[in-house]
Structure 1
Amino acid sequence: MAKIGVFFGSSTGNTRKIAKFIKRAFDDELMAKPLNVNRVSVEEFASYQYLILGTPTLGSGELPGLSSDCETESWEEFLGKIEDLDFTGKTVALFGLGDQVGYPDEFVDAMMEIYDFVEERGANIVGAWPTDGYEFEHSESVLDDKFVGLALDQDNQSALTEERLAAWLKLISSDFSLPL
């Protein structure tokens, strides 16, 4: 079994594309196929010691889910299913997608909801990312002057995505025992 699980929520497919890009950077023995949280069991999710979790931010800073007008369940519902899960001993890295021009006051806010959720349950969270190079007014996902994970803007800065992903994967590689 692969030792790294990649899980995402998505509304338009952009977060899925990023998860697939992350997977392509590794062999099948190291990283499992990325899975949408609306298609995974709690047991499968819990079986990984290393987790990479991705989410878009919808509307006014919301996680994807039924209350944010997604057609299917997503992070909002899945977090309710795993609220009793102990993350002690698990290493978690986060990535979030947002639109810093259209939503400058809520840029990648949903990433913080997942951060808070796993942090409260004992996770070791890695992969904080600098805010340099972004143009936004406010983000709930900034802690100690860094994003709590990799922030991506596919609407306005898609040309920077591949470079940012490569640098972020290199950043988290030692925490995940990755050969980068």
Structure 2
Amino acid sequence: MAKIGIFFGTDTGRTRLIAKQIAKKLGDAADPPVNIGRTTLSGFLAYDALILGSPTLGDGELPGQSVGLSQPSWEEFLPQLAESDLSGKVIAIFGLGDQKKYPDEFVDAIGLIHDALVSRGARVVGRWPIAGYEFAGSQAVDGDEFLGLPIDQINQPVLTEARIDGWLAQIEAELMP
């Protein structure tokens, strides 16, 4: 059975910690998480099942050098996929955000990554209900669901583990057919 690839972008290290927590819960089904700024296009494309994580920075931006990161991240990686056909890839996305400090762009990165991958043929799984979150707007919302799993480690850290467990129970069968 092929393993699940886990890739993340990070600013403070919180997204890396969540990626490691997800990998630990998946055990042998997943390879160790890799910072997206330290991988190659071929390394990313080697997986048919992926879990991707990202914080949302500033005014709803992906992490990258234009927002002050010292190394490349999602902002620099996603354009590399421009010529890639992602048909057959199954992808789940989680995002970190602060729903109180940034209520108008809460976990926008989920939506940005989702749109970039779906436009190249990927199938994204792992929608999550908006119930239980307090925010004003998000590019990651479709109807009454997020396009991935939102994590707010600042305001709701006690809910993180249960949310990850529920989300993984929902997506595991789709990532590991």
What is the TM-score of this pair, normalised by structure 1? Answer: 0.95
Q: Secondary structure at the match of 1:70?
A: coil
Q: Which residue of 2 aligns with 1:41?
A: 40
Runs ≥4 residues deviating over 2 A: none
Query: Structure 1: which amino acid aligns with 2:157?
Result: S
Deviation at 1:71?
1.6
d(CA) in 2 for partners of 1:48 and 1:2? 8
Identity %: 51
d(CA) in 1 for partners of 2:26 and 2:167? 14
d(CA) in 2 for partners of 1:23 and 1:2? 15
d(CA) in 1 for partners of 2:131 and 2:119? 28
Matches within 5 A, 1:21-36: 21-28=21-28, 30-36=29-35
d(CA) in 2 for partners of 1:147 and 1:118? 16
Question: Does structure 1 conserve the Cα–Cα contact (< 8 Å) formed by 2:95 and 2:151?
Answer: yes
What residue ranges of structure 2 are gaps of 5+ in the alignment?
none
Deviation at 1:2?
4.7
C-alpha root-mean-square deviation of aligned residues, in Å? Answer: 1.2
d(CA) in 2 for partners of 1:44 and 1:25? 22
Q: Which residue of 2 aligns with 1:129?
A: 128
Query: Structure 1: which amino acid aligns with 2:108?
Result: D
Is 1:166 matched up with 2:147?
no
Q: Secondary structure at the match of 1:175?
A: helix
Q: Which residue of 2 aligns with 1:109?
A: 108
Q: List per-residue Cα deviations over 1:39-79 (Å, max 9, x = no partner).
A: 11111100000010100000000000011111211000011
Question: Does structure 1 conserve the Cα–Cα contact (< 8 Å) formed by 2:93 and 2:126?
Answer: yes
d(CA) in 1 for partners of 2:82 and 2:142? 23
What is the TM-score of this pair, normalised by structure 2? Answer: 0.97
Q: Which residue of 1 aligns with 2:19?
A: 19
What residue ranges of structure 1 are gaps of 5+ in the alignment?
none
Deviation at 1:162?
0.3
Q: Greater share of helix residues, 1 or 2?
A: 2
d(CA) in 1 for partners of 2:36 and 2:2? 17
Q: Secondary structure at the match of 1:6?
A: strand
- What number of residue pairs does the alignment pair up? 177
Q: Which residue of 1 aligns with 2:154?
A: 155
